[in-house]
A = this chain, B = another copy of it.
Amino acid sequence: MGGEQDREREEFLRVARRAREAAAGLAPLPRAAKDAALHAIADALTAAAPEIVKANEADVERARESGTSEHMIDRLSLTVERIAGIADAVRKVAALPDPVGETVRGNVLPNGLDLRQIRVPLGVVGIIYEGRPNVTVDAAALCLKSGNVAMLRGSSSAYESNTVLVGVMQAALAGTAVPADAVQLVPGTSRESVKHLMRARGLVDVLIPRGGASLINSVVEESTVPVIETGVGNCAVYVDAAADVDLAVKILVNAKTQRPSVCNAAETVLVHEGIADAFLPKALAALRGAGVTVHGDEAVRAHDVAGEVVEATEDDYYAEYLSLDIAARVVGTLDEAVAHIRTYGSGHTEAIVTTSQAAAKRFVALVDSAAVMVNASTRFTDGEEFGFGAEIGISTQKLHARGPMGLPELTSTKYVVTGEGHLKGQTVF
Protein backbone atom coordinates (compact mmCIF):
# COMPACT_ATOMS: atom_id res chain seq x y z
CA MET A 1 0.00 0.00 0.00
CA GLY A 2 2.77 2.41 0.98
CA GLY A 3 4.44 1.76 -2.36
CA GLU A 4 1.18 2.34 -4.20
CA GLN A 5 0.60 5.60 -2.33
CA ASP A 6 4.12 6.82 -3.04
CA ARG A 7 3.65 5.99 -6.69
CA GLU A 8 0.36 7.93 -6.78
CA ARG A 9 1.98 10.91 -5.12
CA GLU A 10 4.89 10.88 -7.54
CA GLU A 11 2.46 10.67 -10.43
CA PHE A 12 0.52 13.61 -8.98
CA LEU A 13 3.64 15.74 -8.65
CA ARG A 14 4.67 14.90 -12.19
CA VAL A 15 1.28 16.04 -13.48
CA ALA A 16 1.27 19.16 -11.25
CA ARG A 17 4.72 20.21 -12.45
CA ARG A 18 3.61 19.84 -16.05
CA ALA A 19 0.57 21.96 -15.20
CA ARG A 20 2.83 24.61 -13.66
CA GLU A 21 5.04 24.61 -16.75
CA ALA A 22 1.98 24.89 -19.01
CA ALA A 23 0.68 27.83 -16.96
CA ALA A 24 3.77 29.86 -17.84
CA GLY A 25 3.21 29.15 -21.54
CA LEU A 26 -0.53 29.78 -21.45
CA ALA A 27 -0.61 33.02 -19.43
CA PRO A 28 0.81 35.41 -22.07
CA LEU A 29 -1.19 33.98 -25.02
CA PRO A 30 -3.50 36.42 -26.82
CA ARG A 31 -7.24 35.91 -26.96
CA ALA A 32 -7.24 34.56 -30.52
CA ALA A 33 -4.95 31.68 -29.56
CA LYS A 34 -7.14 30.73 -26.60
CA ASP A 35 -10.38 30.98 -28.59
CA ALA A 36 -8.94 28.82 -31.40
CA ALA A 37 -7.99 26.21 -28.80
CA LEU A 38 -11.50 26.27 -27.34
CA HIS A 39 -13.01 25.70 -30.78
CA ALA A 40 -10.57 22.84 -31.37
CA ILE A 41 -11.75 21.30 -28.08
CA ALA A 42 -15.41 21.71 -29.02
CA ASP A 43 -14.86 20.08 -32.41
CA ALA A 44 -12.84 17.24 -30.91
CA LEU A 45 -15.51 16.51 -28.30
CA THR A 46 -18.17 16.26 -30.98
CA ALA A 47 -15.97 14.00 -33.10
CA ALA A 48 -15.13 11.77 -30.14
CA ALA A 49 -18.71 11.51 -28.87
CA PRO A 50 -19.01 7.72 -29.45
CA GLU A 51 -15.75 7.06 -27.59
CA ILE A 52 -16.85 9.32 -24.71
CA VAL A 53 -20.26 7.67 -24.48
CA LYS A 54 -18.59 4.26 -24.32
CA ALA A 55 -16.35 5.27 -21.42
CA ASN A 56 -19.32 6.87 -19.70
CA GLU A 57 -21.31 3.63 -20.03
CA ALA A 58 -18.63 1.89 -17.98
CA ASP A 59 -19.01 4.53 -15.23
CA VAL A 60 -22.79 4.31 -15.35
CA GLU A 61 -22.71 0.50 -15.16
CA ARG A 62 -20.41 0.63 -12.15
CA ALA A 63 -22.68 3.23 -10.50
CA ARG A 64 -25.75 1.04 -11.11
CA GLU A 65 -24.01 -1.99 -9.62
CA SER A 66 -23.17 -0.01 -6.48
CA GLY A 67 -26.81 1.00 -6.09
CA THR A 68 -26.51 4.68 -7.04
CA SER A 69 -29.85 6.51 -7.25
CA GLU A 70 -31.38 7.14 -10.67
CA HIS A 71 -31.12 10.89 -9.99
CA MET A 72 -27.34 10.63 -9.56
CA ILE A 73 -27.06 8.31 -12.54
CA ASP A 74 -28.86 10.88 -14.64
CA ARG A 75 -26.29 13.52 -13.61
CA LEU A 76 -23.50 11.10 -14.47
CA SER A 77 -24.82 10.02 -17.86
CA LEU A 78 -23.56 11.35 -21.18
CA THR A 79 -25.25 10.92 -24.54
CA VAL A 80 -24.23 12.13 -27.98
CA GLU A 81 -26.79 14.94 -27.60
CA ARG A 82 -25.45 15.97 -24.20
CA ILE A 83 -21.92 15.98 -25.57
CA ALA A 84 -23.08 18.27 -28.38
CA GLY A 85 -24.49 20.56 -25.70
CA ILE A 86 -21.20 20.51 -23.79
CA ALA A 87 -19.31 21.36 -26.99
CA ASP A 88 -21.68 24.27 -27.61
CA ALA A 89 -21.04 25.56 -24.11
CA VAL A 90 -17.31 25.58 -24.91
CA ARG A 91 -17.98 27.66 -28.03
CA LYS A 92 -20.01 30.07 -25.90
CA VAL A 93 -17.04 30.48 -23.57
CA ALA A 94 -14.84 31.23 -26.58
CA ALA A 95 -17.24 34.04 -27.50
CA LEU A 96 -16.94 35.73 -24.09
CA PRO A 97 -14.54 38.66 -23.64
CA ASP A 98 -11.04 37.79 -22.44
CA PRO A 99 -10.52 39.15 -18.91
CA VAL A 100 -6.71 38.91 -19.13
CA GLY A 101 -4.91 42.16 -19.87
CA GLU A 102 -7.78 44.39 -18.80
CA THR A 103 -6.53 47.51 -17.02
CA VAL A 104 -8.35 47.56 -13.69
CA ARG A 105 -6.96 50.96 -12.76
CA GLY A 106 -4.25 53.18 -14.03
CA ASN A 107 -2.86 56.65 -13.53
CA VAL A 108 0.29 58.72 -13.69
CA LEU A 109 1.71 59.31 -10.21
CA PRO A 110 2.84 62.79 -9.12
CA ASN A 111 6.49 61.78 -9.72
CA GLY A 112 5.70 60.81 -13.31
CA LEU A 113 5.65 57.04 -12.81
CA ASP A 114 3.02 55.38 -14.99
CA LEU A 115 1.04 52.94 -12.79
CA ARG A 116 -1.27 50.31 -14.23
CA GLN A 117 -3.00 47.41 -12.51
CA ILE A 118 -3.80 44.73 -15.09
CA ARG A 119 -5.61 41.41 -14.93
CA VAL A 120 -3.43 38.31 -15.18
CA PRO A 121 -4.33 34.62 -14.85
CA LEU A 122 -4.23 33.01 -11.40
CA GLY A 123 -1.99 30.24 -12.76
CA VAL A 124 -3.01 26.68 -11.89
CA VAL A 125 -6.58 26.29 -10.65
CA GLY A 126 -7.56 23.06 -8.88
CA ILE A 127 -11.21 22.13 -9.07
CA ILE A 128 -12.78 19.40 -6.94
CA TYR A 129 -16.29 18.43 -8.00
CA GLU A 130 -18.95 15.80 -8.03
CA GLY A 131 -20.10 13.20 -10.48
CA ARG A 132 -21.15 15.44 -13.37
CA PRO A 133 -18.71 14.92 -16.24
CA ASN A 134 -19.93 18.06 -18.02
CA VAL A 135 -18.15 20.04 -15.26
CA THR A 136 -14.87 18.53 -16.49
CA VAL A 137 -15.24 20.35 -19.79
CA ASP A 138 -16.99 23.49 -18.47
CA ALA A 139 -14.31 24.11 -15.85
CA ALA A 140 -11.47 23.40 -18.27
CA ALA A 141 -12.95 25.84 -20.80
CA LEU A 142 -13.43 28.64 -18.27
CA CYS A 143 -9.91 28.15 -16.92
CA LEU A 144 -8.39 28.09 -20.40
CA LYS A 145 -10.25 31.22 -21.49
CA SER A 146 -8.97 33.07 -18.42
CA GLY A 147 -5.40 31.87 -19.10
CA ASN A 148 -5.37 29.31 -16.30
CA VAL A 149 -4.38 25.68 -16.26
CA ALA A 150 -7.13 23.44 -14.85
CA MET A 151 -6.21 20.60 -12.48
CA LEU A 152 -9.44 18.63 -12.39
CA ARG A 153 -10.43 16.23 -9.64
CA GLY A 154 -13.91 14.92 -10.37
CA SER A 155 -15.79 12.23 -8.54
CA SER A 156 -14.27 8.76 -8.74
CA SER A 157 -17.67 7.63 -10.05
CA ALA A 158 -16.94 9.52 -13.30
CA TYR A 159 -13.27 8.62 -13.60
CA GLU A 160 -13.51 6.72 -16.89
CA SER A 161 -15.56 9.50 -18.48
CA ASN A 162 -13.25 12.20 -17.17
CA THR A 163 -10.14 10.36 -18.33
CA VAL A 164 -11.46 10.18 -21.87
CA LEU A 165 -12.77 13.77 -21.81
CA VAL A 166 -9.41 15.13 -20.65
CA GLY A 167 -7.59 12.93 -23.16
CA VAL A 168 -9.74 14.30 -25.98
CA MET A 169 -9.14 17.89 -24.81
CA GLN A 170 -5.36 17.37 -24.52
CA ALA A 171 -5.22 15.82 -27.98
CA ALA A 172 -7.17 18.78 -29.37
CA LEU A 173 -4.79 21.25 -27.71
CA ALA A 174 -1.76 19.49 -29.19
CA GLY A 175 -2.61 21.08 -32.53
CA THR A 176 -2.94 24.62 -31.09
CA ALA A 177 -0.78 27.32 -29.51
CA VAL A 178 -2.09 26.35 -26.05
CA PRO A 179 0.10 23.76 -24.30
CA ALA A 180 -1.58 20.32 -24.23
CA ASP A 181 -0.76 20.16 -20.51
CA ALA A 182 -3.08 23.12 -19.86
CA VAL A 183 -5.86 20.67 -18.96
CA GLN A 184 -4.95 18.02 -16.41
CA LEU A 185 -6.81 15.30 -14.58
CA VAL A 186 -5.57 14.55 -11.06
CA PRO A 187 -4.41 10.95 -11.36
CA GLY A 188 -6.11 8.29 -9.27
CA THR A 189 -9.44 7.96 -7.54
CA SER A 190 -8.37 7.53 -3.91
CA ARG A 191 -9.03 10.02 -1.15
CA GLU A 192 -5.25 10.51 -1.04
CA SER A 193 -5.33 11.98 -4.53
CA VAL A 194 -7.51 14.84 -3.23
CA LYS A 195 -5.01 15.40 -0.42
CA HIS A 196 -2.14 15.75 -2.86
CA LEU A 197 -4.06 18.56 -4.53
CA MET A 198 -4.80 20.23 -1.19
CA ARG A 199 -1.12 20.15 -0.17
CA ALA A 200 0.26 21.34 -3.52
CA ARG A 201 1.09 24.85 -2.35
CA GLY A 202 3.53 26.42 -4.80
CA LEU A 203 2.27 24.22 -7.63
CA VAL A 204 -1.45 25.00 -7.46
CA ASP A 205 -2.54 28.62 -6.95
CA VAL A 206 -6.14 28.19 -5.85
CA LEU A 207 -8.56 25.38 -5.09
CA ILE A 208 -12.26 25.60 -5.86
CA PRO A 209 -14.23 22.81 -4.20
CA ARG A 210 -17.73 22.40 -5.63
CA GLY A 211 -20.01 20.16 -3.67
CA GLY A 212 -21.62 19.60 -0.32
CA ALA A 213 -20.74 21.24 2.97
CA SER A 214 -18.68 18.30 4.23
CA LEU A 215 -16.42 18.25 1.16
CA ILE A 216 -15.93 21.99 1.38
CA ASN A 217 -15.23 21.92 5.11
CA SER A 218 -12.64 19.20 4.76
CA VAL A 219 -10.89 21.12 1.98
CA VAL A 220 -10.86 24.33 4.06
CA GLU A 221 -9.50 22.43 7.06
CA GLU A 222 -6.75 20.55 5.25
CA SER A 223 -5.70 22.70 2.32
CA THR A 224 -2.53 24.76 2.36
CA VAL A 225 -3.48 25.99 -1.12
CA PRO A 226 -5.80 29.04 -0.90
CA VAL A 227 -9.44 27.95 -1.23
CA ILE A 228 -12.54 29.61 -2.65
CA GLU A 229 -15.57 28.15 -0.88
CA THR A 230 -18.59 27.69 -3.08
CA GLY A 231 -22.11 26.73 -3.20
CA VAL A 232 -23.54 25.91 0.20
CA GLY A 233 -26.81 27.80 0.22
CA ASN A 234 -29.15 28.08 3.18
CA CYS A 235 -31.11 30.99 1.70
CA ALA A 236 -33.91 32.83 3.50
CA VAL A 237 -36.89 34.83 2.27
CA TYR A 238 -37.97 37.51 4.76
CA VAL A 239 -41.55 38.73 4.41
CA ASP A 240 -41.66 42.20 5.88
CA ALA A 241 -44.60 43.77 7.73
CA ALA A 242 -45.08 46.02 4.71
CA ALA A 243 -45.06 43.27 2.08
CA ASP A 244 -47.58 42.78 -0.70
CA VAL A 245 -48.94 39.42 0.42
CA ASP A 246 -49.65 37.96 -3.02
CA LEU A 247 -46.25 39.03 -4.33
CA ALA A 248 -44.59 37.54 -1.24
CA VAL A 249 -46.35 34.20 -1.77
CA LYS A 250 -45.30 34.11 -5.43
CA ILE A 251 -41.67 34.95 -4.63
CA LEU A 252 -41.54 32.40 -1.82
CA VAL A 253 -43.00 29.59 -3.92
CA ASN A 254 -40.70 30.42 -6.82
CA ALA A 255 -37.64 30.60 -4.55
CA LYS A 256 -38.51 27.26 -2.95
CA THR A 257 -39.88 25.20 -5.78
CA GLN A 258 -38.67 26.44 -9.16
CA ARG A 259 -35.63 24.14 -8.76
CA PRO A 260 -35.32 22.84 -5.20
CA SER A 261 -32.03 20.97 -5.65
CA VAL A 262 -29.82 24.01 -6.25
CA CYS A 263 -27.92 26.25 -3.87
CA ASN A 264 -29.94 29.41 -4.53
CA ALA A 265 -33.28 27.78 -3.66
CA ALA A 266 -34.91 29.12 -0.47
CA GLU A 267 -34.65 26.91 2.62
CA THR A 268 -36.20 29.24 5.21
CA VAL A 269 -39.01 31.76 5.31
CA LEU A 270 -39.07 34.41 8.04
CA VAL A 271 -42.37 36.21 8.51
CA HIS A 272 -42.86 39.52 10.32
CA GLU A 273 -45.48 39.02 13.04
CA GLY A 274 -47.39 42.06 11.76
CA ILE A 275 -48.19 40.29 8.49
CA ALA A 276 -48.34 36.69 9.74
CA ASP A 277 -52.16 36.58 9.90
CA ALA A 278 -52.51 37.83 6.34
CA PHE A 279 -49.57 35.99 4.83
CA LEU A 280 -49.28 32.60 6.47
CA PRO A 281 -52.66 31.06 5.53
CA LYS A 282 -52.08 31.88 1.84
CA ALA A 283 -48.40 30.90 1.96
CA LEU A 284 -49.02 27.58 3.69
CA ALA A 285 -51.76 26.73 1.22
CA ALA A 286 -49.56 27.64 -1.75
CA LEU A 287 -46.60 25.68 -0.42
CA ARG A 288 -48.84 22.70 0.31
CA GLY A 289 -50.19 22.94 -3.21
CA ALA A 290 -46.63 22.82 -4.54
CA GLY A 291 -45.86 19.73 -2.49
CA VAL A 292 -43.63 21.49 0.06
CA THR A 293 -43.32 20.25 3.65
CA VAL A 294 -43.16 23.20 6.04
CA HIS A 295 -41.14 22.91 9.26
CA GLY A 296 -42.63 25.68 11.37
CA ASP A 297 -42.20 27.23 14.80
CA GLU A 298 -45.16 27.53 17.17
CA ALA A 299 -46.42 30.79 15.69
CA VAL A 300 -46.38 29.32 12.18
CA ARG A 301 -48.14 26.17 13.36
CA ALA A 302 -50.88 28.34 14.87
CA HIS A 303 -51.89 29.18 11.29
CA ASP A 304 -51.75 25.58 10.10
CA VAL A 305 -55.39 24.85 9.35
CA ALA A 306 -54.49 21.75 7.34
CA GLY A 307 -52.47 20.31 10.22
CA GLU A 308 -49.53 19.51 7.93
CA VAL A 309 -46.79 21.75 9.31
CA VAL A 310 -44.02 19.77 11.02
CA GLU A 311 -42.48 21.14 14.22
CA ALA A 312 -39.24 22.96 13.43
CA THR A 313 -36.06 22.11 15.31
CA GLU A 314 -32.79 24.00 15.52
CA ASP A 315 -31.47 21.66 12.79
CA ASP A 316 -34.19 22.84 10.43
CA TYR A 317 -32.95 26.42 10.69
CA TYR A 318 -29.45 25.26 9.75
CA ALA A 319 -30.61 22.89 7.01
CA GLU A 320 -29.77 23.16 3.32
CA TYR A 321 -32.62 20.79 2.38
CA LEU A 322 -32.20 20.84 -1.40
CA SER A 323 -35.64 19.22 -1.38
CA LEU A 324 -39.29 20.23 -1.12
CA ASP A 325 -38.91 21.24 2.55
CA ILE A 326 -38.73 24.68 4.12
CA ALA A 327 -38.22 26.01 7.62
CA ALA A 328 -40.65 28.75 8.67
CA ARG A 329 -40.51 31.13 11.59
CA VAL A 330 -42.34 34.25 12.74
CA VAL A 331 -40.09 37.13 13.86
CA GLY A 332 -40.96 40.24 15.85
CA THR A 333 -38.88 42.67 13.83
CA LEU A 334 -36.75 43.00 10.72
CA ASP A 335 -33.69 43.03 12.98
CA GLU A 336 -34.77 39.69 14.43
CA ALA A 337 -34.90 38.28 10.91
CA VAL A 338 -31.39 39.60 10.30
CA ALA A 339 -30.21 38.01 13.56
CA HIS A 340 -31.74 34.67 12.50
CA ILE A 341 -29.91 34.87 9.16
CA ARG A 342 -26.65 35.78 10.88
CA THR A 343 -26.96 32.75 13.17
CA TYR A 344 -28.22 30.10 10.79
CA GLY A 345 -27.53 31.31 7.24
CA SER A 346 -24.67 30.29 4.97
CA GLY A 347 -24.08 33.79 3.54
CA HIS A 348 -25.31 32.88 0.06
CA THR A 349 -28.53 34.77 -0.79
CA GLU A 350 -31.33 36.32 1.28
CA ALA A 351 -34.42 38.08 -0.02
CA ILE A 352 -36.74 40.68 1.49
CA VAL A 353 -40.27 41.22 0.21
CA THR A 354 -41.47 44.69 1.17
CA THR A 355 -43.06 47.83 -0.16
CA SER A 356 -41.12 49.90 2.38
CA GLN A 357 -38.03 51.68 1.07
CA ALA A 358 -36.71 52.03 4.62
CA ALA A 359 -37.11 48.34 5.38
CA ALA A 360 -35.42 47.35 2.12
CA LYS A 361 -32.53 49.71 2.85
CA ARG A 362 -32.04 48.40 6.38
CA PHE A 363 -32.21 44.74 5.29
CA VAL A 364 -29.67 45.34 2.52
CA ALA A 365 -27.36 47.16 4.93
CA LEU A 366 -27.52 44.61 7.74
CA VAL A 367 -27.62 41.28 5.92
CA ASP A 368 -24.10 40.00 5.36
CA SER A 369 -24.57 37.64 2.43
CA ALA A 370 -23.09 37.37 -1.05
CA ALA A 371 -26.37 38.52 -2.58
CA VAL A 372 -29.37 40.35 -1.17
CA MET A 373 -32.58 40.37 -3.19
CA VAL A 374 -35.25 43.01 -2.84
CA ASN A 375 -38.62 41.84 -4.16
CA ALA A 376 -37.05 39.12 -6.28
CA SER A 377 -36.60 35.37 -6.00
CA THR A 378 -33.38 34.03 -4.44
CA ARG A 379 -33.06 31.90 -7.60
CA PHE A 380 -31.59 34.86 -9.49
CA THR A 381 -28.17 34.52 -7.84
CA ASP A 382 -26.46 32.95 -10.80
CA GLY A 383 -23.66 33.91 -13.19
CA GLU A 384 -25.85 33.42 -16.23
CA GLU A 385 -28.67 35.55 -14.75
CA PHE A 386 -26.17 38.25 -13.70
CA GLY A 387 -24.97 38.47 -17.29
CA PHE A 388 -21.53 36.93 -16.72
CA GLY A 389 -22.06 34.50 -19.60
CA ALA A 390 -20.65 31.61 -17.57
CA GLU A 391 -20.02 30.64 -13.98
CA ILE A 392 -17.36 28.52 -12.30
CA GLY A 393 -19.30 28.51 -9.02
CA ILE A 394 -20.87 30.77 -6.42
CA SER A 395 -18.49 31.92 -3.71
CA THR A 396 -19.85 32.16 -0.19
CA GLN A 397 -16.60 33.49 1.24
CA LYS A 398 -15.56 37.12 1.47
CA LEU A 399 -12.01 36.89 0.19
CA HIS A 400 -11.21 37.35 -3.52
CA ALA A 401 -14.66 36.64 -4.95
CA ARG A 402 -18.14 36.69 -3.48
CA GLY A 403 -21.27 35.49 -5.21
CA PRO A 404 -21.37 34.14 -8.77
CA MET A 405 -17.87 33.85 -10.21
CA GLY A 406 -17.36 34.52 -13.90
CA LEU A 407 -14.15 34.85 -15.87
CA PRO A 408 -12.78 37.98 -14.09
CA GLU A 409 -13.01 36.09 -10.78
CA LEU A 410 -10.57 33.54 -12.25
CA THR A 411 -7.91 36.23 -12.54
CA SER A 412 -5.47 38.02 -10.29
CA THR A 413 -3.81 41.35 -11.05
CA LYS A 414 -0.29 42.66 -11.44
CA TYR A 415 1.03 46.21 -11.15
CA VAL A 416 3.08 47.43 -14.08
CA VAL A 417 5.07 50.55 -13.23
CA THR A 418 6.95 52.36 -15.97
CA GLY A 419 9.52 55.04 -15.25
CA GLU A 420 12.44 56.78 -16.88
CA GLY A 421 15.10 55.97 -14.35
CA HIS A 422 13.03 56.76 -11.28
CA LEU A 423 14.91 56.43 -7.99
CA LYS A 424 13.22 56.32 -4.60
CA GLY A 425 13.89 59.27 -2.32
CA GLN A 426 15.31 61.42 -5.08
CA THR A 427 13.91 63.98 -7.44
CA VAL A 428 13.75 62.22 -10.77
CA PHE A 429 17.07 61.71 -12.60
Residues in chain A within 8 A of chain B (CB atoms): 24, 27-28, 107, 109-110, 113, 115, 117, 120, 122-123, 201, 205-206, 220-221, 224, 226-228, 244, 247, 250-251, 254-255, 258-259, 342, 360, 364-366, 368-377, 379-381, 385-387, 397-400, 402-404, 412-426
Contact = CB atoms under 8 A, between A and B. Distances in A.
A176 B154 CA distance: 52
Contact of A368 (B24, B117, B254): B24
A120 B251 contact: no
A412 to B, nearest CB: 4
A258 B425 contact: yes
A424 B368 contact: no
A226 B226 contact: yes
Contact of A374 (B251, B254, B416): B416
A387 B421 contact: no
Contact of A206 (B244, B368, B370, B399): B399
A184 B201 CA distance: 31
Contact of A387 (B109, B206, B371, B385): B109
Which 8 pairs of residues, A with B, have the shortest CB-CB distance? A376-B419, A379-B424, A398-B412, A376-B422, A400-B400, A254-B423, A371-B415, A374-B418
A422 B224 CA distance: 41
Contacts of A247: 421
A399 B372 contact: no
A380 B113 contact: yes
Contact of A422 (B123, B371, B375, B400): B375
A92 B416 CA distance: 27
28 contacts: A24-B342, A24-B368, A109-B386, A113-B380, A122-B399, A123-B398, A201-B220, A206-B399, A220-B224, A226-B397, A226-B398, A244-B421, A247-B421, A250-B423, A255-B424, A360-B418, A369-B414, A370-B414, A371-B414, A371-B417, A374-B416, A377-B422, A377-B423, A380-B419, A380-B424, A386-B415, A399-B400, A402-B413
Contacts of A426: 254
Contacts of A115: 386-387
Contacts of A417: 371-374, 376, 380-381
A368 B415 contact: no
A368 B27 contact: yes
A420 B369 contact: no
Q: Interface centre among A228, A259, A417, by most B CB within 10 Å? A: A417
A221 B220 contact: no
Given A380-B422, A402-B412, 5 more contacts: A372-B415, A372-B416, A375-B421, A379-B423, A386-B415
Contact of A415 (B27, B342, B370, B425): B370
A227 B254 CA distance: 38
B398 A122 contact: yes
A222 to B, nearest CB: 9
B368 A123 contact: yes
Nearest to A199: B221
B120 A368 contact: yes
Nearest to A109: B387
A220 B226 CA distance: 9
A376 B224 contact: no
A350 to B, nearest CB: 11
B412 A399 contact: yes
Contacts of A250: 421, 423
A264 to B, nearest CB: 9
A371 B53 CA distance: 47
A423 B109 CA distance: 48
Contacts of A423: 250-251, 254, 258, 376-377, 379
